[in-house]
């Protein structure tokens, strides 16, 4: 029979395990879990499917909000990073160029850039895109296109 003054070995073992789990660092053996840390902004691959979806959304928003008669499309993604929150924030720096396609055209998939120097317009924009993929929602939370 165990004494009240000296706790049993199983009780001590369970208390020790509880303490270790509560205080010790959480580690994962799942490689995917180690790739993205929650809350930390990390580099993202510009060719990643989710990043490309965010780029497309950012460019569409840019074209919808500017007063140019012609659409712009990305020349290149200069940088991309991501942050896991209650969804994902994408931070994108995109160089955009004006195309020869007007906004009223229906097929804009292969619009060439202007070649005449007086018609060329290039701009570098910074976008913050918030995505909740499981709800199929995306929004621009911030963007700016500073003029050089």
Locate the domains of the chain by residue range: 37-144
Q: Give the pLDDT confidence score for residue 6 in this predicted structure.
A: 54
Q: Give the pLDDT confidence score for residue 130 in this predicted structure.
A: 97
How far is 141 from 143, CA to CA, in rounded Å?
A: 7
Bridge partner list, 48: none
**pLDDT tens per residue, the chain (148 residues)?**
454 555 565 555 555 545 444 444 444 444 454 455 678 999 999 999 999 999 999 999 999 999 999 999 999 999 999 999 999 999 999 999 999 999 888 676 788 988 877 777 899 999 999 999 999 999 999 999 987 5
How far is 104 from 118, CA to CA, in rounded Å?
A: 22
Q: Give the pLDDT confidence score for residue 27 in this predicted structure.
A: 46
> Which of 134, 19, 44, 132 is closest to 94 using CA atoms?
44
How far is 9 from 2, CA to CA, in rounded Å?
A: 10
DSSP structural state of residue 39: T
For domain 37-144, the question of CATH label 3.10.450.10 is answered with yes
- Total Cβ atoms within 10 A of residue 95: 14
Q: Give the pLDDT confidence score for residue 24 in this predicted structure.
A: 47
How far is 101 from 24, CA to CA, in rounded Å?
A: 59
Token pair 């919808």: residue: 64
Q: Give the pLDDT confidence score for residue 33 in this predicted structure.
A: 45
């Amino acid at each position: 029979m165990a004494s009240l003054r000296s706790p049993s070995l199983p009780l001590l073992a369970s208390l020790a395990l509880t303490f270790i789990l509560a205080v010790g660092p959480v580690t994962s053996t799942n490689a995917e879990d180690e790739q993205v840390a929650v809350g930390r902004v990390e580099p993202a691959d510009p060719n990643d499917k989710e990043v490309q979806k965010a780029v497309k959304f950012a460019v569409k928003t840019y074209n919808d909000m500017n007063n140019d008669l012609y659409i712009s499309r990305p020349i290149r993604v200069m940088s991309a990073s991501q942050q896991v929150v209650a969804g994902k924030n994408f931070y994108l720096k995109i160089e955009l160029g004006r195309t020869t396609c007007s906004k009223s055209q229906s097929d804009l998939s292969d619009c060439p850039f202007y070649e005449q120097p007086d018609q060329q317009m290039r701009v570098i924009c910074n976008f913050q895109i918030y995505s909740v993929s499981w709800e199929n929602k995306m929004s621009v939370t911030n963007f700016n296109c500073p003029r050089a």
